[in-house]
Chains A and B, each alone.
Chain A
Amino acid sequence: MNETDELQTTSPTAADGTTVTQHKRPWLHSRRFRRQIMPWLFIAPITLLHLVVVVGPSVVGMYYSLTEWSGIGKAEFVGLDNFRELFFEDRNFLLALRHNLMWLAFFLTVPFVMALAVATLLAQVRVGSMTIRTAFFIPYVLPSVVVASIWRMLLDPRLGFGAALEDWGIKGLAYPYLGDKNTALAAIAFVDNWHWWGFLMILFLTAMQSIPSDLYDAAKIDGANRWQEFLHVTLPGIRPTVFFMLMMTAIWSFLVFDYVWILTHGGPAGSSEMLATYLYKQAFQRFEAGYGAAIGITMSAIAGIMATIFVFFRRRGWDV
């Protein structure tokens, strides 16, 4: 009897101890909560924010693109009418698309050639290498409005670098690059590239420095010259970086806005109109929300197709 009494007095207190804590927040101490639910509570806030700001509106935008709507009042469902108008009637849109393709061609070549060449030159240099690197990186940290402001001065026909060179006897470079419809797009691309290529160069240089140096020694033993060395050791070594940046360039080329808007607003006479500036004008100046959404989807789809093409080539044995 005594024994059972003792048992009965000890076990309830033990049980009591657990039930007290379980009474407070039983779910907080369950294994399932700690292992499966709490981790997601940490992730939830930022994910909700991202869903509300980015994902939700993206989905809604797809519906908008099927409507005729000013952004206020009731939207009228028009099916694929906006897209038909874009591709078959709207010459401004097709012109903008063409400019984006030219932009793509420029940015897939010029900055990459510059960055690869200069990274190769800089990789061989020891003295002053860090300072040179810093200098090349600085344009990348400047805001687009400032870069545009600098080059608006330098590209000025009367007071820019062309005029200055003329004073020194070099004629013919004083030209309204941003004001002429034949050169505006190229001038904007030049300015954007001034800000961009140094960053690309640093990316390639960083990748080059992780190539093991015995690969270069082996190439040297095999009698490779500098060009062969570049082609067979350096380039394969940095190929993943080059490939990734080519893909990102292909995507970004269809989304460019800042430099075009700040420097020319897409002008003169639409000669530097881009998909993004055209969307901005349609949606936020002419209040064609449905039409603007259709442009947004088209741009995103093209950028997505570009990315897919790259991924496809990668799978098809480009071996990157």
Chain B
Amino acid sequence: MFKRKGKSNLILNYVILLLLVCLALGPILVLFFNSLKSFNDLGTNPIGLPRVVQIENYVNAWVQGEFATTLTNSLIYVVFTVAGVLVLGGMAAYSLARLDPPGDNLYLVYMLTLSTIPFWLYVIPLFIMWRSLGLLDTRAGLIIMYIAFNSPFAIFLLRSFLMSLSRDFEDAARVDGANEWQVMTRVVIPIMWPAFLTVGLVVGLGVWSEFQAALIFLQRDELMPVTTSYYNFTQRFGRDWSLTSAGAVMMIAPVLMLFLALQRQFVTGLTQGGIKL
């Protein structure tokens, strides 16, 4: 499949692929260029390179978009959700893969079917319940929801990773007199870190980008993650594209750097997530 195509054939492949690469990356470059332009420059030259680089846009966007607050909020949501998902999901995955609970197949079917329940089916009762529990418009309320949304994916991925590992180390630890808790914390967790990294990246990316739940469940500006806050920011400064573009670049820069650094883990995680859910 790879070798026998002539070179002349491959030239056409490259031409089409490169055009589509331009379609994929061009708009992101435009965003970056626009983030550096002055207001007047943008008005006459909205697509091309900036004529004068105006780095103050970033300072202005940082201050007016309150990125110091919202990026911190997003980081809090990401860290706590990932930690919760890994601890609680990891415990469940460990049990399903190793402790053979009676009825585990039934539980997997339950998780598989219930993980497809659409957000819009339960959002209204959840909103009302969160309001009466005092969890509406709080960080904890949002984090609890995010952990629940992401738990099926985490359980399935961690479980299948564990099933692919041999039980020999654990059995050896048991022979040496370790109890189940010690087996889990001393033996299993250290060899699980690649799967933890994958789940952490996928869940973290999801929380960092999440919009609809944050839109519905948060009202206070000071609690908003960067997504809904940026959305409000673009509503307010709709025509000031250099400002909104600078804000967007600040939001995606950490994600892109992390993605380029840990590409393989991202891609495996996201494609497995796509297959599993």
Residues on A facing B (Cβ under 8 Å): 34-36, 38-40, 42-43, 45-47, 49-50, 52-58, 60-61, 64, 71, 118, 121-126, 128, 132, 134-146, 149-154, 156, 159-161, 163-164, 194, 198-199, 202-203, 206, 211, 213, 216, 220, 241, 244-245, 248, 251, 254-255, 257-258, 261-262, 275-276, 279-280, 283-284, 289, 292-293, 295-297, 299-300, 303, 307
Contacts and interface: CB of A to CB of B under 8 A. Distances in A.
A193 B28 CA distance: 15
B17 A125 contact: yes
Contact of A137 (B9, B16, B107, B267): B267
B193 to A, nearest CB: 19
A118 B231 CA distance: 33
Contacts of A299: 118, 120-121
A277 B122 CA distance: 15
Q: 7 closest A-B pairs (Cβ-Cβ)?
A: A39-B101, A42-B95, A53-B148, A143-B209, A57-B122, A57-B125, A39-B99
B96 to A, nearest CB: 7
Contacts of A35: 100, 102
Nearest to B89: A46
B67 interface: no
B144 A143 contact: no
17 contacts: A39-B95, A42-B94, A43-B92, A46-B151, A52-B148, A53-B144, A56-B122, A135-B21, A137-B267, A145-B227, A151-B27, A159-B46, A161-B47, A163-B46, A194-B24, A262-B211, A299-B118
A292 B124 contact: yes
A157 B88 CA distance: 50
B220 interface: no
Contact of A300 (B16, B91, B117): B117
A71 B129 CA distance: 10
A138 B24 contact: yes
Contact of A125 (B10, B99, B147, B228): B10
Contact of B241 (A71, A137, A153): A153
A55 B151 CA distance: 13
Nearest to B114: A55
Interface string B179-195: 01000000000000000
Nearest to B274: A203
B184 to A, nearest CB: 9
A121 B17 contact: yes
Max chain B Cβ within 10 angstroms of own Cβ: one of A151, A258, A307:
A258
A298 to B, nearest CB: 10
B256 A50 contact: no
Contacts of B102: 35-36, 39
B123 interface: yes
Nearest to B126: A57
Contacts of B111: 50
Contacts of B17: 118, 121-122, 125, 132
B33 to A, nearest CB: 11
B275 interface: yes
Contacts, number: 266
B24 A136 contact: yes
Interface stretch (B51-59, B160-168, B244-252): B244-252
Max chain A Cβ within 10 angstroms of own Cβ: one of B2, B123, B145, B215:
B123
Given A137-B267, A299-B118, A124 B2 contact: yes
Contacts of B120: 255, 257, 275-276, 279, 295-296, 299-300
A122 B114 CA distance: 36
A306 B25 CA distance: 34
B118 A149 contact: no
Interface in B235-274: 241, 244-245, 248, 251-252, 255-256, 259-260, 263, 266-267, 270-271, 274
Contacts of A140: 270
Given A58-B117, A118-B17, 9 more contacts: A46-B155, A47-B92, A49-B88, A53-B145, A61-B124, A141-B255, A164-B47, A254-B118, A258-B211
A43 B275 contact: no
Contacts of B209: 141-144
A46 B259 CA distance: 28
Contacts of B145: 53
Interface string B118-154: 1111111111110000000000000011011101100
A54 B25 contact: no
Contacts of A60: 122, 125, 129
B177 interface: no
A276 to B, nearest CB: 6
Contacts of B148: 49-50, 52-54
A297 B121 contact: yes
Given A149-B244, A293-B124, A126 B2 contact: yes
Contact of A262 (B14, B24, B94, B231): B231
B205 A141 contact: yes
B237 to A, nearest CB: 11
A151 B88 CA distance: 39
B10 A124 contact: yes
B231 A46 contact: no
Contacts of B119: 255
Nearest to B230: A145
Max chain B Cβ within 10 angstroms of own Cβ: one of A49, A123, A257:
A49
